[in-house]
Amino acid sequence: MAVAELGVVVLDCPDPRALAGFYAGVLGGTVEGEGDWVDLKLPGGAQALAFQAAPGFVAPKWPTPDDSQQFHLDLTVQDLDAAEKAVLELGARPLDAEDHTRTFRVYADPAGHPFCLCAC
C-alpha cells in the first residue's frame, strides 16, 4: 500500500512565470499564478509542473562529476528534429544534442535545468 501519491514536480528557478511559459511552449497547457509560485496545468489531465522562486538560484552543471544535476525531465516526442527546432526557438540551449544517431538529445531550459527530448 502506498503511503502517498505524487502531487506535483516543482522546479526552483529565478523567474517562475518565465520558466512556466517556456514549458507551456514545449508541453502546452495553461500557466496559472503569479509571484513566487506558478503552476503549469498540462492538457489531458497529465501531471502538472510547478515553478518556485529560489533566491540565489544556481543552475545545475551538466555533465560534471563534481556537481549533481539533481534531476532532469524526459520529454517524449514524435520527431526529434522538429522538437529540437521548437525548444531552441523557445530559449533552450543544447547540452548534448550533436549525436543525431541516438534516440535522445539533452538540452537546458532557460534557467539551466537539463531535460531530454526522447524519440518515442
pLDDT at residue 69, rounded to an integer = 64
Asked whether residue 87 carries a pLDDT value surpassing 90, the answer given is yes
Task: Provide mean pLDDT across the span 100-107.
Answer: 92
108 is written with which cell numbers? 537546458
Asked whether residue 110 carries a pLDDT value surpassing 60, the answer given is yes
The HSE-up count of residue 73 (CA atoms within 13 Å, CB side) is 18
83 is written with which cell numbers? 522538437
| pTM, rounded to two decimals | 0.87
